[in-house]
Structure 1
Amino acid sequence: MSVDDLAPKPASIPPQPPTQPPQFDTLLGHPKPLWMLFMAEFWERFAFYGIRWALTLYIVAQFAGGSSTGEGDANRTYGAYLALVYASAIFGGYVADRIIGYQRSILLGAVVMAVGLFMIALPSQLLFEFGLSTIIVGNGLFKPNISSMVGQLYAPGDARRDRGFTLFYMGINAGSFFSPLLTGWLAEQVFGTPMTQNYKAVFVASGFGMLISLVWFWLGKRQLKGIGLPPAGGESLLRVLWVAIGCILAIPLVYLLLAKLGATPLAWLLGLLFIGLAVMLLMEAVRTGVVQTHRVIAMLIIFLFNVMFFMFFEQAGSSFNFLAQNIVDRGIGGWEFPVGWFQSVNPVGIILFAPLVTLVWAFLDKRRLEPSIPRKFGLGLIFNGLAFALLMFALSALVDGSGRIPLWTLVAVYLVQTVGELCLSPIGLSMVTKLAPVRLVGLAMGGWFLATAIGNNLSGIFAGIVSGESGMTVDSALTGYTFGFWSLIGAGVLLFLLAPLINKLMHGVK
């Protein structure tokens, strides 16, 4: 039985985002609600990144007795967790589109996520895995819908849309910057107790961050002037109750997928889910016309390249953590750089580079030289590949007598990856709002996150291979990251070659 079957009064008219949004006052050239939305996302990202750096390290410390033989399982669990976080966006997008609207989905999702974040602090593997499952369900309601609402602030054809998404992306990454610094400091400096206890404080701090996001959005939602309200006929609060019951029922199912299914079967399941979503989008597009059908095909092609990008980009929370802990020389004048702080390098790069990338796109646009969407994606893949080229160099030429590489190399890897991310991720969010069928924007945004989910699950499998059965070594890391380099460069070049065809399918969308 689907959530739609549980709803007592199904909407007779599917929701359609307004073709012209309300008139908003502007701040720094953009609608004021943009800043409210990215501050809500700021605190959600604070919560997400607060646990991101600690999860694999905690799993090894708490459930593998600190043995490096647990790295592979930790990597695969982390990859499956991230995959399900993003896959759940499909259902969250559908719930927002058809049942309770975007605003109520975000609020309910924030409540569920906060509960899960507090659960993972409890000293039990069963409760830890159920807590992760609860976070996954809540994130499905929150994440795709707040991004979809950003697109609805701009009229069709508004040239500010791409730049608005880039600014949104920059703003939310401020939360990603502060969270690892604060939680890493809590874990390593404050308590003077074993790290397995300190990680729990990290999880609790992240739970409070999610509560702040909840309150912030609740107080600021009036600024949206009706954007994101329930679909016609769906105003009853009873629908919210049915969706909440659906969330409770979904948590045990997600637990089975996370803890019992395994990463490889999950990859096949996500692939089938992607095929089903593609069929739904294409069926809707065919009803609309040839142009919409072509645009959906173009969007789905780009989704496939997104899988490749995140398969290697999302080593940050898995194999890069063990690289930082075991192979990077983190000593600085007698002080040791905390492992968690590496997670702040990426958001710092976004905060520094996002305005520059925005200016570059605007500069090129005025001269009609701005790269097309597929070529921006190709650049993202190539920059990601260059980061792995730097790792190849460090692991083959810069290893010292104690088997460690310089700290600056991993910092530089994160920064180069950040440039690639800025060429791809914010543009991808904007692309979905332009190419998706109007009636299924939330579902299509879920498709974007499903592609990311498939990449994240593959990232966990790949990270497990890099660590091997006995833990990461210089040789295993070099072999794995060399494969990553050639895969990314090859995909980037292929996308550049396919760009003219994809642009033709997009029918003028820039």
Structure 2
Amino acid sequence: MSGGATTQQEVAIPEFKQIMGHPQPLWMLFMSEFWERFAFYGIRWALTLYIVAQFHGGDAAGQKDANLIYGSYLALVYAAALLGGYVADRVIGYQRSILIGASFMAAGLFMISLPDPNIFKLGLATIITGNGLFKPNISTMVGKLYKMGDERRDSGFTIFYMGINAGAFIAPILTQLLAQKVFNTGNTPAYKIVFICAGIGMLVSLVWFYFGRKVLQGIGAPQAGQEDRKRMAYVVIGGLVITPITYFLLQMGADTLQVVLTLLFIILSVLLLIEGVRVGPVARDKVIALLIIFTVNVLFWMFFEQAGSSFTFLAENIVHRVGDLHFLTSLAGMDEFPTAWFQSVNSVAIITMAPLVAWIWVKMGKFNPSIPRKFSLGIFFNGLAFLILMVALSSMVDAGGKIPFWTLVAVYWIQSVGELCLSPIGLSMVTKLAPTRLVGLGMGGWFLSTGIGNNLSGKFAAFISGESGMSVASALHGYTLSFYVLCGAGVVLFLLAPLIQKLMHGVK
């Protein structure tokens, strides 16, 4: 290759100690990501409910604003990965990016515990800055532990993905119990406790990675020319500058943000295409395939991420939660199944189903679906989840205006199967299809496409809630539309899969 520094993927991979058939550093990264996801998902269930309770006095009309803020926050969290990937690739390396990102995230989590709307949004902006430096780079480092032809690569990403979900499973349960039963005696959780616990979890991730990174043996360390510690100071200063800009993007609203994110996606696409063309036709075709998959990813997350927005209000107001799984709620000293705990269903499903799905892919051998076909399966399962809601909201509503408890559990579970067909495969795919010199930027593109989907999810959730809050009728209308859009997209992708696979030049 001509021009530019040699990337870390081109450096000889050390002979790592193997634990359970995988390099030792995988397990260190697993636990770092566990605690980071504990922090991230620890606040997920509470954000929209907190915004309505704290800044709208509990008025259901505040649901629209809460959904839009939530969607924009998630969008910027993932869009920031674009810049974070570039910083790691070209400025300070992956390890230092992760350490700085963890510090910013911890600070932001403690900030949002202060009940002021401006400080709250500034805290969200600080979390966004930190996550951009942390999230894409720790994922990229997993790929750098394996040689390109190593058959363990996909299973390594699946294990890593289970680390993500182990943290995501524990976080809603623990933070909700602490906020409602330990530090509060009423029915309304002490939301600041949720945010403080998440901040502590982020500090654990920071300390764990700081002391554990020695097992990486140079993987993710600064490259030649990046060793100067002044570069870290420049990145910190840059983060302090970007955070207020992110705050203003949150203030400007989801519509303006959508324009900004779309422009960023176009710029990223052009940069990747230029690099692909420079390297050669094969690299160019792989980039084209990558960009098609990114577009599908937008659609998937637009509807999947209703889990943290409209589904939260659905669970709070329309799902029957009294008496269901009473043995669990009685153990926790509660009269009803907490809304927060629905967020853990996804993680239980991932942890339970991930080994099974990975085993199925292996056992299928030569009949193992191509990456595009797996993505179409993810879209179909997402659509199936909304079909359940269509049936429940049209024919299972009781006299109290509630749908059965099991229907929302089934929705989260089926969506999770779709996620397993798409998300872990996507992380691995980026490291295979992105130009070698811009793997971090490619991973940033994956998260940017997720971010665009998340912003659209907030807009769609706001559409479902309307001006007066979610009702059975508005939920039925919105989720019916979701089903038809996803099924149509799944059929189109399934039919186009052979063409996309051809562009991938043998990548599986």
Q: TM-score range by the shorter chain?
A: over 0.9
Match of residue 60 from structure 2: 68
State the SS of the aligned residue for 2:9.
coil
TM-score, with structure 1 as normaliser: 0.96
Q: Is the 1:19–1:156 contact (alpha carbons within 8 Å) kept by the matching residues of 2?
A: no
Residue in structure 1 matching 2:268, options 277, 300, 304 = 277
Alignment RMSD: 1.2
Task: Quote the residue 1:121 is aligned against.
Answer: 113
- The residue correspondences of 1:369-384 to structure 2 (distance < 5 A) are 369-384=367-382
Q: Classify the secondary structure of the residue corresponding to 2:148.
A: coil
SS at match of 1:336: coil
2:19 alignment counterpart? 27
Q: CA–CA distance in 2 between the matches of 1:213 and 1:242?
A: 23
1:292 aligned to 275, 283, 288, which one?
283
Instruction: Name the counterpart of 2:470.
Output: 472
Query: CA 1:194–1:256 in 2, change beyond 3 Å: closer, same or farther?
Result: farther
Partners of 1:435 and 1:137 lie apart in 2 by 26
Q: How does 1:73-92 map to 2 (within 5 A)?
A: 73-92=65-84
Unpaired runs of 5+ in structure 1? 1-10
Spell out, residue by residue over 1:279-310, the C-alpha distance to the aligned partner (whole angstroms, 9 max, x if none): 00010111100000000000000000000000
Tell me the SS of whatever aligns to 1:158: coil
Whole-Å separation in 2 of the counterparts to 1:16 and 1:150: 12
Q: Is the 8 A contact 2:176 2:189 kept in 1?
A: no
Q: Can you list the C-alpha shifts for 1:45-100, whole angstroms capped at 9, x where unaligned?
A: 00000100000000000000000000000000000000000000000000000000
Show the 5 A alignment for 1:30-45.
30-45=22-37
- Residues 257-297 of structure 1 show CA distances to partners (whole Å, capped at 9, x for unaligned) of 012x1111211111111000000001011110000000000
| Percent of aligned pairs with the same amino acid | 65
Measure, in 1, the Cα distance between the counterparts of 2:310 and 2:363. 37
Of 305-314 and 13-22, deviating more is 13-22
Cα distance in 1, alignment partners of residues 355 and 28 from structure 2: 19
Q: Secondary structure at the match of 1:384?
A: helix
CA–CA distance in 2 between the matches of 1:195 and 1:20? Answer: 57
Q: Match for residue 6 of structure 1?
A: none
* 1:201 and 2:193 correspond: yes
Aligned partners of 1:107 and 1:355: how far apart in 2? 30
Distance 1:195 1:448 in 2: 40
Aligned length: 497
SS of the equivalent of 1:331 reads coil
Look up the match of 2:330. none
Choose which of 317, 323, 329 in structure 1 pairs with 2:320. 329
1:30: Cα distance to partner?
A: 1.1
Instruction: Report the AA paired with residue 443 of structure 1.
Output: L
Q: CA deviation at 1:219?
A: 1.2
Alpha-carbon contact 1:187-1:195 (below 8 Å) kept:
no
2:348 is the alignment partner of 1:357: no
- Partner of residue 498 from structure 1, selected from 490, 496, 499: 496
Alpha-carbon offset, residue 345 of structure 1: 0.4
Match of 1:436 in 2: 434
SS across alignment from 1:329: coil
**Deviations 1:129-174, CA, capped at 9 Å, x for gaps:** 0000000000000000000000001101111111111111012210
TM-score by length of 2: 0.96
SS in 1 for 2:243: helix
The answer as to whether partners of 1:391 and 1:481 remain within 8 angstroms in 2 is yes
Deviation at 1:14, TM superposition (A): 5.5
Q: Distance in 1 between matches of 2:223 and 2:295?
A: 31
> Are the counterparts in 2 of residues 12 and 232 from structure 1 also a CA contact under 8 Å?
no
In the alignment, the residues of structure 1 paired with residue 6 and residue 249 of structure 2 have an alpha-carbon distance, to the nearest angstrom, of 31
**Cα distance change of structure 1 residues 194 and 129 upon mapping to structure 2, 3 Å threshold:** farther
Partner Cα separation in structure 1 for residue 420 and residue 455 of structure 2: 22
Where do residues 404-483 of structure 1 align in structure 2 (5 Å cutoff)? Answer: 404-483=402-481
Is 2:7–2:436's contact at 8 Å kept on the other side of the alignment?
Answer: no
Q: Does the Cα contact within 8 Å between 1:324 and 1:339 map onto a contact in 2?
A: yes
1:214 aligned partner, one-letter code: L
CA gap 1:197/1:127 in 2 versus in 1, 3 angstroms: farther
CA positional deviation for 1:196: 6.7
Kindly provide the CA deviation profile for residues 317-336 of structure 1, in whole angstroms up to 9, marking residues without a partner as x.
11000000000010115820
Partner secondary structure for residue 421 of structure 1:
helix
C-alpha contact (below 8 Å) 2:77/2:131 kept by paired residues: yes
C-alpha change, 1:428 and 1:469, in structure 2 (3 Å) is: same
Distance (Å, rounded) in 2 between the aligned partners of 1:195 and 1:142: 35
Give, in whole Å, the separation in 1 of the partners of 2:480 and 2:236: 45
- Taking structure 1 as reference, are residues 254 and 283 closer, same or farther at Cα in structure 2, changes over 3 Å only? same
